[in-house]
Amino acid sequence: MKIEVLGSGCPKCIELEKRVREAVKRKGINVKVEHVYDVAVIIERNVFSTPALVVDGKILVSGALPTTEEIVKLL
């Protein structure tokens, strides 16, 4: 499983990364969480509203800040 947080580093993007890391910990899965800051790469991924959560190349959340519990359910 590959988990990515896409966002330029704004407070919401940083908070999403924090919540994703907590959700991964709660699920007990050993996976690397990567934060993609490069706007060009984000646009290439067809994400136009950040923060975004991408799991295995599939955009699960874009332009919203889900709760940790919601992220646990998504994973």
Residue-wise pLDDT for 14-43, tens only, equals 999 999 999 999 999 989 999 999 999 999
Is the domain spanning 3-74 CATH 3.40.30.10? The answer is yes
User: Per-residue pLDDT tens for 48-72?
Assistant: 999 999 999 999 999 999 999 999 9
Please work out, in degrees rounded to the nearest 5, the angle formed at the alpha carbon of residue 56 by the alpha carbons of 40 and 31.
Answer: 105
Beta bridge partners of 53: 5, 61
Q: How much is the pLDDT for 33?
A: 95
| pTM score, whole prediction | 0.92
Q: Cα(15)–Cα(3) distance, rounded to whole angstroms?
A: 15
